[in-house]
């Protein structure tokens, strides 16, 4: 179990070394797709995730976190291959489907294997600090991947995706060294999948705080991800080179990494409700700030967005995991990703359509204004 914790640093580093992450919008645009088509591809990703996330979480709980992670890395390799060899929208759509499934199989399992390993070692009280450190290296990996991907894309987009194939192999290889945590499952007469899903939803129904935390975290991630991806095109519209965009993304990822690593210190000084209010207000002001400020100042706003995103990761992960029984952990954590996909399914193409009509920063500002009452509702529910 101690080896699992150390190995999680290596595996999650390679998993996060997503070298096409800062250029995939530019790549698809280069291949002739419009922003609306790109938005629909992202919707396909999240529709797949919405439909498959909870069942794949159940797979991790029933058949093992290690098995789920390994299958996910294989599907990630297939997805990257489709991005290389596809010549039209349909081919890219298949790539996004396989990519979604790879993330589904990773999402609940990778987090669960860390928490459950620490729980077996009676170290779950150290999880927030440990996961913050893992998140730190994940953000560093993202920053390095973005920097290298941006530089390589100035030579040829294809170099980026070929290197991504090798990264998938490294992540898969590291995952094979995991040891499966021994989780006790209660005996029952129902179909194993039906029982797993029924009991997981029952826990969420009875534990409203866990449900509201999951909804709020998914909401925050939706905002951050939308800003993160569309800012690629925004910076390109500002005539910033792809290498410079990669440097910007690399710096902001390092800032997010530092924010993740030391989030536990801030959490000790502020209570949960205060942190939630700060995250709510900050995200709204960031979205509106993009439409108010122009030029290079939007880079500062983007930096703040990444720092807030990094801060939220270990805080919410610790809150949610502390409320979930081990035998249903991956399934319930997958519900978190379902909510994220549901929000992204709606928001991402809408922002793409508005960006094409009014401009990206104006689209951010409109979404920021619309989300004010939604944020108010979530904060109100968190009081229960």
Hey, where are the domains in the chain?
2-177+206-381
How much is the pTM?
Answer: 0.67
Q: Mean pLDDT, consecutive 10-residue segments, the chain of 384 residues?
A: 85 88 80 81 82 76 83 92 88 92 83 82 79 82 82 83 92 88 58 66 74 79 82 83 79 82 74 72 82 82 84 77 73 75 79 83 84 74 60
Name the architecture of domain 2-177+206-381: Up-down Bundle (1.20)
pLDDT at 263: 76
The three state secondary structure string of the chain is: CHHHHHHHHHHHHHHHCCCCCCCHHHHHHHCCCCHHHHHHHHHHHHHHHHHHHHHHHHHHHHHCHHHHHHHHHHHHHHHHHHHHHCCCHHHHHHHHHHHHHHHHHHHHHHHHHHHHHHHHCCCHHHHHHHHHHHHHHHHHHHHHHHHHHHHHHHHCHHHHHHHHHHHHHHHHHHHCCCCCCCCCCCCCCCCHHHHHHHHHHHHHHHCHHHHHHHHHHHHHHHHHHHHHHHHHHHHHHCCCCHHHHHHHHHHHHHHHHHHHHCHHHHHHHCCHHHHHHHHHHHHHHHHHHHHHCCCCHHHHHHHHHHHHHHHHHHHHHHHHHCCCCHHHHHHHHHHHHHHHHHHHHHHHHHHHHHHHHHCHHHHHHHHHHHHHHHHHHHHHHCCC
pLDDT at 233: 79
pLDDT at 77: 94
pLDDT at 188: 46
pLDDT at 382: 60
pLDDT at 170: 93
């Amino acid at each position: 179990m101690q080896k699992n914790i150390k190995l999680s640093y290596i595996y999650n580093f390679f998993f996060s070394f997503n070298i096409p992450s800062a250029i995939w919008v530019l790549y698809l645009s280069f291949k002739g797709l419009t922003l609306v088509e790109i938005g629909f591809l992202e919707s396909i990703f999240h529709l797949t995730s919405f439909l498959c996330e909870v069942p794949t979480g159940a797979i991790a709980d029933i058949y093992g976190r290690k098995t789920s992670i390994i299958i996910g890395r294989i599907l990630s390799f297939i997805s990257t291959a489709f991005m290389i060899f596809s010549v039209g929208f349909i081919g890219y759509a298949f790539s996004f489907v396989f990519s979604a499934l790879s993330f589904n199989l990773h999402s609940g399992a990778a987090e669960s294997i860390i928490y459950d390993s620490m729980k077996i070692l009676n170290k779950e009280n150290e999880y927030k600090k440990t996961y913050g450190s893992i998140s730190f290296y994940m953000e560093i990996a993202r920053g390095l991947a973005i920097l290298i991907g941006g530089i390589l894309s100035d030579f040829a987009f294809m170099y980026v995706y070929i290197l991504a194939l090798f990264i998938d192999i490294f992540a898969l290889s590291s995952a094979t060294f995991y040891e499966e945590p021994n989780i006790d499952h209660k005996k029952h007469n129902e179909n194993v999948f039906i029982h797993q899903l029924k009991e997981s939803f029952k826990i969420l129904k009875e534990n409203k705080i866990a449900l509201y935390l999951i909804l709020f975290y998914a909401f925050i991630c939706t905002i951050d991800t939308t800003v993160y991806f569309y800012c690629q095109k925004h910076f390109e519209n500002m005539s910033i080179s792809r290498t410079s965009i990669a440097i910007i993304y690399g710096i902001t990822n390092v800032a997010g990494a530092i924010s993740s690593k030391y989030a536990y210190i801030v959490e000790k000084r502020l209570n949960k409700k205060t942190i939630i209010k700060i995250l709510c207000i900050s995200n709204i002001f960031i979205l509106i700030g993009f439409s108010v400020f122009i030029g290079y100042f939007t880079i500062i706003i983007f930096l703040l967005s990444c720092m807030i995103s990094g801060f939220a990761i270990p805080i919410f992960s610790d809150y949610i995991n502390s409320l979930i029984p081990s035998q249903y952990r991956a399934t319930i954590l997958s519900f978190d990703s379902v909510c994220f996909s549901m929000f992204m399914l709606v928001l991402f193409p809408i922002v793409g359509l508005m960006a094409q009509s009014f401009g990206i920063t104006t689209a951010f500002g409109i979404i920021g204004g619309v989300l004010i009452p939604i944020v108010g509702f979530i904060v109100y529910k968190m009081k229960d």
